[in-house]
Chains A and B, each alone.
Chain A
Amino acid sequence: MQDTTESTEPHKRFSILDIIIKYRTIFILLLLAAVFTSLDKIFMHPTNILNMLKRMSYVAITAFGMTFVITTGGLDLSVGGTAAITGVTLALLLAMGIPFPFAILLCLVIALILGGINGVTVVKGKIEPFLVTLATMNIYRGFALVLTGGRPVPIVSDFFVQMFGNGLIFNVLPVPILIMAVFFVVTWFLYRKTKYGFFIRATGGNLEAAVVAGMNVGVVKIGTYVINSVYAYMTGLILAALMSSGLPAIAVDLPLDAISAVILGGTAISGGQGNVLGTLGGALIMAILASGMSLLGAQYPVQILVKGIVIIFAMLIDQILKARG
């Protein structure tokens, strides 16, 4: 009896406010870009932009994966650990003289297992994703540290460093940006155009309805953690290449940065409504903030402070919009 919102006639009014609300991520992006450009012209210089995109690439890739997990109502804090294990293992394998393609494949297998552990523990153990991945975050990180005794492992393959990190396509475009673009397209396709993406959105939108519709929601959920882990693996490869070494203590901020990007992009933390393009926008907002503030001479402490404030405001705006209906 609560739902008598008849809407049989077409929408009539499209106010400017509605448009701003719908595309708010884009408006925030444009606004930030305009502000930083006006403060310092260098901001819009192609070199700066490419640099910024290169630095956002690995956060964005992890955030794409995280979009799947969060859409089903989950969360994954362990991606930083997974990325660290990937980089470290790769460096160790290469140092042992194992050929590059095998090393990469072996790391992928490890990532699949790590994601599987997350997913199976969440689904079969019926434990909150936050708690499970809080624990595995420490386990995976600890594993990376133990493997290397806490020391960085240099990467001996220059080919690898060029292929995933420092290489330039047509002598302009850094490889990580291309990888990010490919991952964006793949993610968007998976999310919007495949049966699995549909199942993810249905499971997150209403778990009980998905169960009644005969979907295997357990497998769907486990799958999101495995996919997310593969994305974290890619991030690990890029980071290792950029650093020319496997660093066991790298990517500590990664899970929270990725989650922030997803949330800024309009994916609901409660699940159901996800938006891959939004996630890209969210990652871009954070990258613009970081890059702009660096140009203005703000140090890391100020940067994270501003980052936190921006996230809180984005949430508040979302909440207000939701209340408006």
Chain B
Amino acid sequence: MEEHVLELKNLGKTFSGVNVLRGINLALKKGEVHALLGENGAGKSTLIKILNGYYQPDRGGEIRIAGRELQFKKPKDALDASIHTIYQELTLCPLMTVAENIVIDKQDSFQGVALKNKEFREITLEALERLGQTDIDPNRMVKELSIAQQQVVEIAKALSSNAQILLMDEPTSSISQKDAEKLMTIIRNLSETGVTIIYISHRLHEIDNIAHRITVLRDGDLVGTVNKDDVTEHDLIRMMVGRELTNVYPKTEVDIGETVFRVENLSSEHTFRDVSFDVRKGEIFGIGGLVGSKRTELLEALFGMRPITGGSIFFKDRAFVPENPINAIRNKIAFITEDRKKNGLVLCLSVTENLNMINAQEKGSAFGYLNWKELMQVAKRQQKILNIKLNTLEQIVATLSGGNQQKVVLGKWLEFEPAVILCDEPTRGIDIGAKTEIYAILGKLARQGAAVIMVSSELPELISIADRIMVMREGETRGIIDRAEASQEKIMTLAALQSVR
């Protein structure tokens, strides 16, 4: 029987009652490049974090390295088993040299009093040579290297620690096309020398380029493991999205009116380019795309949080330049941000205070008496409309559940009756029940005449809720699809493939 370098049996992971990964069985051969594919939230990152020891799998799951069962209690255990990870965000020390970075995890090199700089250099040169990257000077400071070069150093660091299995999480997401091709060559060479690579990427052409086998995950389940030569890109897309739409996604039917909001050739340097679309009264305009497609950045620019370097925005046929959020809000634009903890809520304040965050600004003078009784009434009204479950309105908002917190984020904008609502992943990380309620609220807002622009990575959500869907890829518009013609395959094709025929 063939020996597997890495074998996973019935691996699962549950976070506070939510099962995000189930029954993963996978066996990797020595020297194979194995691609891991799936939509955002399919469980890829969780699986990687189990493999490198950051998370412990649920009881009953097994990890076998070369036939031996191992338990990773901490990241160091995975490293000791020769599993190394190259993260999206690089983890080198920018103010140290290449050589210093490469030896930093090798404790044997630090015996004695003086640093063995000569030995460090040799280790570094040897590792870089294995990668065929001798143009990197071991004495250079890491911050002077390009991102792609830093990535090479990161790989060299792993190799010099005798890495047998490399986990690469979207390694090409922040480097250029040319550098990505170089990286592909490096990966191919490594695999020939017997290093096993688990490769996560959304870019199907890359996977097509280097992978031997592909495993597709969907909603925490392993859909299948296939040989690359047996499938087409469209098969893979079908495997990634194939799921039934249920009545989780109620669509409120609305008569769509005139155009309220129009964006022409909008650009923001180094982020997105030439984005054009219009949104009509009562419409929910969806924006789909993968991580890194710069959808959040687009919304930020529309809300005045990011400089616009080209193009124009028209609001009710009037040219409009959002200089800052104050300006955007004055024009009745609301922004329901993606991360409620980061910039949606003030967690240490009460529900009432959070619900009045926008509303209170129009009340009275700065040093005058703020009528909290009146604001409490506002909060009470929103709490009823949104069905926020709480003990008292004085409750600190951090003590609410995720879904109820999200409703508070929505609620703070409702009282102000926005004309345009920007929402970024409005249902991220909340349970199905709350999701459905939030769709109903968005539908209601649209019916009251608001134009809703919704960024979402959840395809069924986009297809069911949005009237039209714009797909973005790496800062560019790939197309706008009508609701009637939208399918998950169509969106994924636009979002993931480099070019469309």
Q: Name A's B-contacting residues (CB within 8 A).
A: 1-11, 189-190, 193-199, 201-202, 205-206, 208-216, 272-273
Contacts and interface: CB of A to CB of B under 8 A. Distances in A.
Contact residues of B: prevailing secondary structure: loop
A190 B370 CA distance: 10
A238 B326 CA distance: 41
A8 B16 contact: no
B60 interface: no
Given A6-B401, A7-B399, A194-B368, A212 B337 contact: yes
B399 A205 contact: no
Contacts of A199: 366
Given A195-B370, A211-B343, A214-B325, A3 B365 contact: no
Contact of B412 (A213, A216, A272): A213
A274 B308 CA distance: 37
Given A7-B400, A195-B361, A202-B357, A2 B16 contact: yes
Interface residues of B, number: 47
A193 B364 CA distance: 12
25 contacts: A1-B15, A1-B18, A1-B20, A1-B402, A3-B405, A3-B429, A4-B17, A5-B400, A7-B401, A189-B369, A190-B367, A195-B366, A195-B367, A195-B370, A198-B360, A201-B353, A205-B346, A205-B347, A206-B347, A209-B345, A209-B357, A212-B344, A213-B412, A214-B330, A216-B326
Given A212-B344, A214-B329, A5 B401 contact: yes
Given A1-B15, A8-B389, A209-B344, A198 B353 contact: yes
B305 interface: yes
A249 to B, nearest CB: 35
A272 B346 contact: yes
B378 to A, nearest CB: 13
Contacts of B361: 195, 213-215
Contact of A205 (B325, B348, B370, B395): B348
A-B residue pairs, 10 tightest by C-beta: A208-B343, A205-B346, A214-B329, A206-B346, A213-B357, A196-B366, A272-B348, A8-B389, A205-B348, A4-B16
A10 B395 CA distance: 11
B335 interface: yes
Contacts of A3: 401-402, 405, 429
Given A1-B15, A5-B401, A190-B367, A213 B353 contact: no
Given A8-B390, A193-B370, A198-B353, A1 B429 contact: yes
Contact of B335 (A5, A212, A216): A212
Contact of B16 (A1, A216, A273): A1
B74 interface: no
Given A5-B399, A195-B370, A202 B391 contact: no
Given A7-B390, A212-B337, A213-B325, 10 more contacts: A1-B15, A7-B391, A8-B391, A193-B369, A195-B363, A195-B364, A202-B349, A202-B357, A209-B346, A273-B348
Interface in B192-249: none
B204 to A, nearest CB: 28
B360 A195 contact: yes
A11 B391 CA distance: 8
Contacts of B501: none
B325 to A, nearest CB: 5
Interface string B243-259: 00000000000000000
A201 B412 contact: no
Given A4-B16, A195-B370, A216-B326, A201 B349 contact: yes
A8 B357 CA distance: 23
B110 interface: no
Contacts, number: 116
Contacts of B303: 212
Interface in B10-56: 15-18, 20
A9 B395 CA distance: 12
A208 B412 contact: no
A233 B412 CA distance: 39
Nearest to A7: B399
Nearest to B303: A212
Contacts of B405: 3
Interface string B466-482: 00000000000000000
Nearest to B369: A193
A9 B400 CA distance: 11
A80 to B, nearest CB: 27
A272 B345 CA distance: 12
A16 to B, nearest CB: 22
A208 B405 CA distance: 17
Nearest to A205: B346
Nearest to B16: A4
B87 interface: no
A202 B303 CA distance: 20
B18 A4 contact: yes
Contact of B353 (A1, A196, A202, A208): A202
Contacts of B368: 194-195
Interface in B309-364: 325-326, 328-330, 335, 337, 342-349, 353, 357-358, 360-361, 363-364
Contacts of B412: 213
Contacts of A272: 346, 348-349
